[in-house]
């Protein structure tokens, strides 16, 4: 018997001996208990903590990745697409990732070389506006005309997310 089992039995015995009902009964008391392997329990706690830590690391990585995607997007607001239409007006269009829609998930992998896999999900918004001149577009309000769902899968290899 391990220490945890002995402790449980002692506590139950003290409780039963102190109870007036148990003292007057003559029938044997059946006690059930579960063996707990402290090493296995500690290993599970460590695995759970490691996964939580990798999730936090991935979240930081994902936020910087979204900033990079917004900055480098060929149709960002600073490089918006401006099209002269047949009626003489101008249509401007740009893309931006909505940070509030970003979500991350991390799970353990079955692979020996890739211990974790992370999934970054977000929605990319397409904004449009029209004006009589390209200069007016800078002052115009833009409306969301399309939402594009995106998902990227990353692996954790050699201490970094790739």
Mean predicted confidence (pLDDT) in 114-132? 95
CA–CA distance, 100 with 103 (Å, rounded to integer): 8
Whether 27 shows a pLDDT value over 90: the answer reads: no
pLDDT of 3 reads 47
Q: What does pTM read for this prediction?
A: 0.67
* 144 has a pLDDT exceeding 90: yes
pLDDT at 120 over 50: yes
DSSP-assigned states of every residue in 7-19: HHHHHHHHHHHH-
Other beta carbons within 10 Å of 59: 16
Q: Is 154 helix (H, G, I), strand (E, B) or coil?
A: strand
Question: What CA dihedral angle connects 57, 58, 64 and 66, to 10 degrees?
Answer: -160
21 pLDDT above the threshold of 70: no
Rounded-to-integer distance, Cα 89 and Cα 133, Å: 7
The alpha carbon of residue 71 and the mean position of all alpha carbons in its chain are separated, in whole angstroms, by: 23
CA separation for the pair 127, 96 (Å, rounded): 8
For the segment 33-54, what is each residue's pLDDT rounded down to a tens digit?
Answer: 666 677 777 777 777 888 889 9
pLDDT tens digits for 51-78? 889 999 999 999 999 999 998 989 888 8
């Amino acid at each position: 018997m391990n220490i945890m089992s002995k402790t449980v039995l002692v506590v139950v015995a003290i409780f039963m001996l102190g109870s007036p009902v148990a003292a007057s009964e003559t029938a044997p008391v059946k006690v059930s208990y579960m063996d707990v392997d402290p090493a296995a329990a500690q290993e599970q706690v460590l695995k759970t903590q490691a996964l939580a830590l990798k999730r936090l690391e991935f979240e930081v990585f994902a936020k910087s990745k979204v900033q990079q995607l917004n900055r480098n997007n060929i149709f960002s607001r600073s490089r918006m697409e401006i099209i002269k239409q047949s009626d003489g007006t101008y249509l401007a269009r740009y893309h931006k990732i909505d940070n509030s829609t970003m979500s991350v998930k991390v799970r353990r992998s079955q692979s020996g070389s890739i211990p974790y896999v992370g999934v970054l999900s977000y929605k990319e918004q397409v904004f449009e506006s029209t004006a009589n001149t390209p200069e007016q577009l800078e002052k115009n309000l833009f409306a969301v005309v399309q939402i594009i769902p995106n998902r990227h899968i990353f692996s954790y290899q050699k201490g970094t997310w790739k």
